[in-house]
C-alpha cells in the first residue's frame, strides 16, 4: 500500500494483465505470477487485474480474490496495484473491494454495474456506498459503456469527486474523446483520468491525463511504458512515433473479442501455458488467426523489447 496515501503518484502505463487459465479452465497462478514479473521487468508503471481483459465476469469471487493475492505477492511495493473489484452485484463489489483493501492494494478499480442500466443518480448512490464503506482506500470508477450499456456522466463524476475524498479518478474506456475533456473540465486536473482506449492513450496526456490502462501492454509493455515516459520528458515526436508503431498490435487485440487474440499470442510466446478463454468467449477462429499473424509480424519488433 505504498502508493495508497498519495494516489496522485499512480501514473503512467498501468498494465491490465490477462487472467491465464490452464487448458482445462482453472486459474493458472504460476502463469499469472510470470506475467506480473514480466510486466515489472519490462518497465510498466503499475499493474491492474480483473478489468475487462482479465475476464472477471467469468470468474467466481473466490477466484478473483485468489488471483489478486497472487499478483500482490509478486508486486510487493514496487509499483502501484489497482485491481478491478467491481461486479453487477453490490455485495460482490463490497466483498472484492474489502479483500483488495486488506491485502494492500493501492486503489480499487470499480466498474459501473453492468446490464441493469442504472440512472446517473443510481450510479452516484452505488459509488457513494462503496466510498463510504472504504474511506481510506482510493477508488477509481471504470467507465466502459461498450461493455456495460451505461455511461457515467461528467456531472456524476464531479459529484463523487466533490463529495468523497477517496474518489480519486476514472478509467475512461469510451471512444468519445470529448467525454475525456468534459470530465477533466468538470472536475479539474486534480482528478486522475486514465485512458482504456488504446489509440486515445497518448492524446489524453495532452489534456492532463494521468496515464493509461491499455490492453496492448500485454503484448508490448516496454513500448507502452516508454510512450508515456517520452511524453513526460517532452520528447513528443518520439512518443507519437511509438503511438503509430503500436497500431498493428492495437488492431490485433480486437480481431475478435479481447482477450482471446492476446491470450493466443501469449501462449505462442510461451508466456502462459494455455490461451484458454472461458465461455461465453471462444478461442480465435481460423480466419482470425490468419489476421492475427499478419498484425503480429507488423508489430513484432515492439513485442521483443524489454
pLDDT at 22 > cutoff 90: yes
Render pLDDT for 83-92 as a digit per residue (tens, 0 to 9): 999 999 999 9
**Domain assignments of the chain as residue spans, ordered by start:** 8-250
Contact 107, 136 (CB under 8 A): no
Catalytic residue among 2, 115, 127, 142: 142
Going from the C-alpha of 190 to that of each of 56, 161, 175, 220, 236, the distances in angstroms are 29, 10, 22, 29, 23
Query: What average pLDDT does this structure show over 54-67?
Result: 98
pLDDT at 305: 66
The answer to whether 157 is annotated as binding is no
Domain 8-250 in this protein, CATH class: alpha beta
pLDDT at 24: 96
Render pLDDT for 106-132 as a digit per residue (tens, 0 to 9): 999 999 999 999 999 999 999 999 999
pLDDT at 306 > cutoff 60: no
The answer to whether 53 is annotated as binding is yes
Q: How far apart are CA 200 and CA 195, in angstroms?
A: 7
Render pLDDT for 156-203 as a digit per residue (tens, 0 to 9): 999 999 999 999 999 999 999 999 999 999 999 899 999 999 999 999
Q: What grid cell was written down for 304?
A: 521483443
Whether 124 is a known active-site residue: answer: no
pLDDT at 231: 98
Q: How far apart are CA 34 and CA 264, in angstroms?
A: 16
Contact 56, 2 (CB under 8 A): no
Query: What average pLDDT does this structure show over 93-98?
Result: 98
User: Residue 304's pLDDT band (boundaries 50, 70, 90)?
Assistant: confident
Whether 171 is a known active-site residue: answer: yes
Percentage of the chain with pLDDT > 70?
A: 99
Catalytic residue among 171, 228, 263, 286: 171
Amino acid at each position: 500500500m505504498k502508493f495508497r496515501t498519495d494516489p496522485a503518484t499512480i501514473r503512467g502505463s498501468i498494465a491490465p494483465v490477462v487472467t491465464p487459465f490452464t487448458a482445462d479452465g482453472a486459474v493458472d497462478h504460476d502463469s499469472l505470477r510470470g506475467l506480473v514479473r514480466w510486466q515489472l521487468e519490462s518497465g510498466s508503471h503499475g499493474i491492474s487485474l480483473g478489468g475487462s481483459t482479465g475476464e472477471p465476469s467469468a470468474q467466481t469471487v473466490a477466484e478473483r480474490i485468489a488471483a489478486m493475492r497472487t499478483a500482490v505477492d509478486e508486486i510487493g511495493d514496487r509499483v502501484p496495484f489497482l485491481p478491478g473489484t467491481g461486479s453487477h452485484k453490490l455485495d460482490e463489489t463490497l466483498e472484492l473491494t474489502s479483500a483488495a483493501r486488506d491485502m494492500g492494494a493501492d486503489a480499487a478499480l470499480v466498474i459501473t454495474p453492468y446490464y441493469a442500466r442504472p440512472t446517473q443518480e443510481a450510479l452516484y448512490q452505488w459509488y457513494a456506498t462503496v466510498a463510504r464503506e472504504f474511506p481510506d482506500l482510493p477508488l477509481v470508477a471504470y467507465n466502459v459503456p461498450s461493455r456495460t450499456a451505461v455511461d457515467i456522466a461528467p456531472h456524476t463524476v464531479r459529484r463523487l469527486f466533490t463529495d468523497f475524498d477517496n474518489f480519486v479518478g476514472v478509467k475512461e474506456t469510451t471512444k468519445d474523446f470529448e467525454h475525456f475533456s468534459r470530465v477533466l473540465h468538470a472536475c479539474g486536473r486534480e482528478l486522475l483520468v486514465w485512458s482504456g482506449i488504446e489509440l486515445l492513450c497518448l492524446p489524453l496526456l495532452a489534456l492532463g491525463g494521468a496515464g493509461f490502462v491499455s490492453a496492448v501492454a500485454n503484448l508490448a509493455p516496454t513500448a507502452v511504458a516508454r510512450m508515456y515516459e517520452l511524453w513526460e520528458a517532452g520528447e513528443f515526436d518520439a512518443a507519437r512515433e511509438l503511438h503509430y508503431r503500436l497500431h498493428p498490435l492495437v488492431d490485433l487485440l480486437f480481431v475478435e473479442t479481447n482477450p482471446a487474440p492476446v491470450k493466443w499470442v501469449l501462449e505462442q510466446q510461451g508466456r502462459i501455458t494455455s490461451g484458454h478463454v472461458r465461455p461465453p468467449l471462444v478461442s480465435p477462429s481460423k480466419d482470425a488467426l490468419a489476421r492475427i499473424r499478419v498484425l503480429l509480424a507488423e508489430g513484432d519488433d515492439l513485442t521483443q523489447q524489454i
